[in-house]
């Protein structure tokens, strides 16, 4: 990727910027981005640790049509996958890279749309005991999908929102209207709820982060013990639960994703891809220049 990136940086012949307010200008942009995306995929296939595992056949035509016919709508990117697949790490990498490049991106976690279960946790004594009772915490019914749909639709239309905050401290408390989110041109949403119901249809790009089970186990246990104050026994019980939940709710929808990526790929390499996308989308000169 560095070789492609360097070629873009030293290339002096910028393309004359078309008028993107016209359909013909947007058609040119779609063709240009299509050719560059194919370059990325070709390079990735020959890399030591490819990040792209599969691309849905309908994705590029669908994305091109959306770019041409609905330019005013802000872009929504959904990132899903199993627990401890690397979704949050990838989002943090995107955030750091885009902030450095001053790209207009907002990132939010769909896990904040869990419904408040603090009363149930109080009734059973702890989150772990609630799970042991058979409570299916990852069921789509336990997300406030109506509010998530409303908030994402508003963001896509350029309207700022305040989203709820689910406290990951074992209390199950949800604080409403807690986190302000700006309607940037690109909105990245991470979490399993991006796969459910009519919310899934809002996204212009649906990414699925795939992960090897052994790596998933290592990451899950590390996170549980270092940032969620769980002992190994409880962490392993929860891992068994989330894997069963994945079989019911996540894995069946994996092939509905536009792009499946490798969650264990190099973050440095992923950052290089973002840099390259930035370079190719800014390789235009204004007519007056």
Summarize the confidence of residues 132-146 as an average pLDDT.
91
Task: Report the side by side order of strands in the sheet with 52-55.
Answer: 52-55, 259-262, 205-210, 75-81, 186-190, 105-109
How many domains, in total, are found in the chain? 2
> Is residue 131 located within the same domain as residue 260?
yes
| Residue 37 reports pLDDT greater than 50 | yes
> Is residue 63 located within the same domain as residue 36?
no
On the 0-12 / 13-18 / 19+ scale of CB atoms within 10 A, 138 is buried
| Residue 165 reports pLDDT greater than 90 | yes
Give Cα 271 to chain centroid, integer Å.
Answer: 15
Hey, is 171 helix, strand or coil? Answer: coil
* pLDDT digits 0-9 by tens, 217-264: 999 999 888 877 788 888 898 899 889 999 999 999 999 999 999 999
> Is residue 95 located within the same domain as residue 132?
yes
> Is residue 128 located within the same domain as residue 152?
yes
For residues 168 and 190, what is the distance between their CA atoms, to the nearest angstrom? 16
3-state helix, strand, coil in the chain (%, to 5): 55, 20, 30
* pLDDT digits 0-9 by tens, 192-215: 999 999 999 999 999 999 999 999
> Is residue 95 located within the same domain as residue 14?
no
> Is residue 193 located within the same domain as residue 284?
no
Task: Say what the pLDDT of residue 153 is.
Answer: 97
What mean pLDDT is reported for the chain?
A: 89
> Is residue 88 located within the same domain as residue 60?
yes
* pLDDT digits 0-9 by tens, 92-111: 999 999 989 888 899 999 99
Range of the domain at 149: 52-264
Task: Say what the pLDDT of residue 13 is.
Answer: 56
> Is residue 128 located within the same domain as residue 38?
no
CATH number (domain holding residue 167): 3.40.50.300
> Is residue 102 located within the same domain as residue 219?
yes
> Is residue 61 located within the same domain as residue 16?
no
Confidence of residue 289 (pLDDT cuts 50, 70, 90): very low
> Is residue 224 located within the same domain as residue 127?
yes
> Is residue 36 located within the same domain as residue 103?
no
């Amino acid at each position: 990727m560095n070789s492609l990136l360097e070629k873009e940086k030293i290339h002096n012949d910028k393309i004359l910027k078309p008028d993107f307010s016209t359909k013909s200008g947007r058609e040119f942009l779609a063709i240009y981005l299509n050719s560059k995306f194919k370059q990325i995929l070709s390079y990735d296939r020959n890399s030591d640790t490819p990040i792209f595992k599969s691309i849905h056949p309908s994705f590029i035509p669908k994305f091109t049509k959306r770019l041409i016919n609905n330019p005013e709508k802000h872009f929504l990117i959904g990132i899903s996958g199993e627990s401890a697949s690397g979704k949050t790490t990838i989002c943090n990498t995107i955030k750091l890279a885009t902030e450095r490049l001053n790209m207009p991106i907002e990132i939010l976690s769909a896990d904040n749309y869990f419904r408040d279960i603090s009363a149930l946790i109080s009734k059973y004594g702890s989150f772990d005991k609630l799970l042991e009772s058979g409570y299916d915490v990852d069921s789509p019914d336990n997300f406030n999908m109506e509010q998530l749909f409303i908030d994402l639709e508003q963001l896509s239309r350029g309207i700022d929102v305040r989203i709820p905050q689910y406290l990951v401290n074992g209390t199950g408390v949800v604080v409403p209207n807690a986190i302000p989110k700006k309607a940037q041109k690109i909105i990245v949403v991470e979490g399993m709820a991006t796969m459910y119901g009519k919310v899934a249809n809002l996204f212009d790009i649906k990414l699925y982060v795939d992960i090897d089970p052994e790596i998933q186990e290592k990451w899950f246990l590390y996170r549980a013990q270092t940032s969620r104050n769980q002992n190994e026994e409880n962490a392993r019980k929860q891992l068994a639960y989330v894997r069963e939940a994945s079989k019911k709710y996540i894995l069946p929808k994996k092939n509905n994703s536009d792009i499946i990526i490798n969650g264990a790929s190099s973050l440095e390499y992923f950052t290089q891809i973002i840099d390259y996308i930035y370079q190719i989308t800014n390789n235009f000169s204004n007519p007056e220049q």
